Amino acid sequence: MAENIAITWRRIPERYMLEGSSCSTCNTKYFPLRKLCPKCRRKGKLERMRFSGEGEIYSFSQINSAPAGLELQAPYILAIIKLKEGPKLTAQIVEASEKDVKIGDKVDQVFRAIRTDEPEGLIHYGYKFRKI
């Protein structure tokens, strides 16, 4: 199923440049963007920030039975990445199979197509990660 154009467009800063939020009151970093700091509530002040893209594998799984649109890529590694700045996110690890990755491996963000609405729809780009 094709992703709504407005949703894709709104998420471009997050997907292309790892844009998230930083609370200038408590210095907590959030990804993706947040409008409210759950720690500081009304005292919090959230500013946009770009994450460096460096992180490590917090946990991972090999996906053998892929969702629609990703069948050709299976088997692939889906991991929870802990970014250097703190927050965690879920993303694919490129160019890797189960035997290539372990928890704690250092990774770096790469820019790839994350889904393609075949045959005539949009190509949605975004972050994936690669072992350093």
Partner 1 sequence: MSTASGIVGYGTYVPRFRIKPEEIARIWGEEPERIRKGLGLEEKSVPDLDEDAATMAVEASKNALKMSQIDAEKIGAVYIGSESHPYAVKPTATIVAQALGATPEMTAADLEFACKAGTAAIQIGMGLVSSNMAEYVLAAGADTSQGRPGDALEYSAGAGAASFLIGRQKSQFVAELEGTYSFTTDTPDFWRRQHAHFPSHGGRFTGAPAYFRHVLGATQGLFEKYGYTASDFDYFVFHQPNGKFPLEAARKLGIDTKKVMAGLMTPKIGNTYSGASIIGLCSVLDVAKPGQKILLTSFGSGAGSDSFVINTTDLLPEARKRVVHNLAWYVNRKTYLDYGLYVKHRRKLKSL
For the bound state, the minimum distance from the C-beta of residue 63 to partner 1, rounded and expressed in Å, comes to: 14
Whether 43 and 68 have beta carbons less than 8 Å apart is answered as: no
Q: How far is the CB of 39 from partner 1 (least distance, A)?
A: 28
Which is closer to partner 1, CB of 43 or CB of 106? 106
- C-alpha of 75 from chain center: 19
- Check if the beta carbon of residue 112 is closer than 8 Å to that of residue 99: no
Amino acid at 115: R
In this structure, the dihedral spanned by the alpha carbons of residues 45, 27, 47 and 83, taken in order and rounded to 10 degrees, is -140
Tokens 């946990």 appear where? 59
Min dist. Cβ of residue 16 to partner 1 (A): 4
C-beta of 39 vs 50, nearer to partner 1: 50
Identity of the residue, 25 or 97, whose beta carbon is nearer to partner 1 in the bound complex: 97
List residues near partner 1 by CB under 8 A. Answer: 12, 16-17, 50, 72-73, 94-95, 110-114, 123, 125, 128
Using the minimum distance from each CB to partner 1, give the nearer residue, 103 or 123: 123
